[in-house]
């Protein structure tokens, strides 16, 4: 059930709830909670407070993107030119970087696109660059496998002393420095 539907139901149920007896209020409240999924206390607060005379306007989400694909592409080019620095360092550097990239032929921007690019905030730049960052990230590349014993059965030393003389099983994990692919590894001593 969407927000607007819940509000319409509230406008229908609230007057009936306020005028009902205590036993009927409980039934109405239970039905309202089942229909909307609201928490009990929140539903009571909604049903007992005075309602505004006009129903709230529908929520229009999401907002249209402010920066188009041209601005996003120019930002990605500038980000790549700076060796993929974070947006907090990239955005203050854009007023010097953009003219240099245009001068060397890496960017060709209109006045409107340039104005938008120079007005972008670091947080927005991070949101724009997030899909590009995640696309280049490796997923689950590992050259080691976990042991067959359960971790709860392996004694682990904490701040207290060992009760046994032998600690038991020992397991380590190695880091592979192989980049994005784990195939074709060769070891030369």
What dihedral do alpha carbons 40, 46, 48, 52 form, nearest 10°?
A: -170
Are 38 and 73 in the same domain? no
pLDDT digits (tens, 9 = 90+) for 62-121: 777 888 899 999 999 999 999 999 999 999 999 999 999 999 999 999 999 999 999 999
Residue with tokens 């005379």: 53
Neighbours of 36 (CB within 10 A): 19
Q: Is residue 21 assigned to a domain?
A: yes
Q: Bigger pLDDT: 112 or 181? A: 112
Q: Bigger pLDDT: 186 or 127? A: 127
Q: Bigger pLDDT: 186 or 59? A: 59
Are 84 and 114 in the same domain? yes
Are 124 and 78 in the same domain? yes
Q: Which of 74, 62, 63 is nearest to 129 (CA)?
A: 74
Q: What is the pLDDT of residue 66?
A: 85
Q: What is the pLDDT of residue 35?
A: 92
Are 131 and 80 in the same domain? yes
Q: Is residue 13 assigned to a domain?
A: yes
Q: Bigger pLDDT: 92 or 140? A: 92
Q: What is the pLDDT of residue 3?
A: 80
Q: What is the pLDDT of residue 88?
A: 92
Q: What is the pLDDT of residue 134?
A: 84
Neighbours of 75 (CB within 10 A): 24
pLDDT digits (tens, 9 = 90+) for 142-169: 666 666 655 556 666 665 666 655 555 5
Angle between helix 87-103 and 69-81 (nearest 10): 90
Query: At 50, is the secondary structure helix, strand, or coil?
Result: coil
Q: Is residue 140 assigned to a domain?
A: no
Contacts for 140 with CB less than 8 Å, ≥ 6 apart: none
> 6 with 36: CB under 8 angstroms?
yes
The domain boundary residue, chosen from 117, 135, 153: 135
Angle between helix 111-119 and 87-103 (nearest 10): 160
pLDDT digits (tens, 9 = 90+) for 1-45: 788 788 889 888 999 999 999 889 999 999 999 999 999 999 999
Which pTM does this prediction carry? 0.47
Q: Which helix (H) or strand (E) holds 134?
A: helix 122-135
Q: Bigger pLDDT: 56 or 24? A: 24
Q: Is residue 54 assigned to a domain?
A: no
Are 109 and 77 in the same domain? yes
Q: Which domain, by its residues, includes 25? A: 3-48
Q: Is residue 156 assigned to a domain?
A: no
Paired tokens of 128: 């724009």
Q: Is residue 40 assigned to a domain?
A: yes
Are 73 and 44 in the same domain? no
> 88 with 45: CB under 8 angstroms?
no
Number of residues assigned to the chain: 189
Paired tokens of 87: 């947006």
Burial call 76-110: b when 16+ CB within 10 Å, e when fewer? eebbebeeeeebeebbeebeebbeebeeeeebebe
Give the whole-angstrom CA distance, residue 116 versus residue 128. 13
Counting the structural domains of the chain, the total is 2
């Amino acid at each position: 059930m969407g927000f607007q539907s819940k509000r319409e139901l509230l406008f229908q149920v609230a007057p009936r709830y306020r005028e009902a007896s205590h036993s009927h209020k409980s039934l109405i409240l239970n039905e309202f909670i089942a229909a909307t999924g609201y928490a009990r206390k929140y539903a009571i607060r909604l049903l007992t407070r005075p309602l505004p005379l006009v129903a709230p306007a529908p929520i229009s989400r999401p907002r249209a993107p402010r920066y188009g694909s041209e601005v996003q592409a120019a930002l990605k080019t500038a980000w790549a030119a700076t060796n993929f620095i974070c947006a907090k360092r990239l955005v203050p550097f854009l007023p010097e970087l953009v003219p240099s990239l245009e001068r060397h032929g890496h960017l060709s921007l209109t006045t409107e696109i340039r104005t938008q690019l120079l007005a972008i905030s670091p947080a927005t730049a991070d949101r724009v660059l997030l899909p590009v960052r995640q696309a280049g990230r490796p997923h689950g590349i590992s050259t080691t496998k976990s042991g067959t014993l359960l971790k709860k059965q392996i004694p682990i030393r904490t701040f207290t002393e060992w009760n046994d003389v032998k600690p038991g099983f020992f397991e380590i994990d190695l880091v592979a420095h192989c980049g994005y692919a784990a195939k074709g590894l060769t070891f030369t001593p």
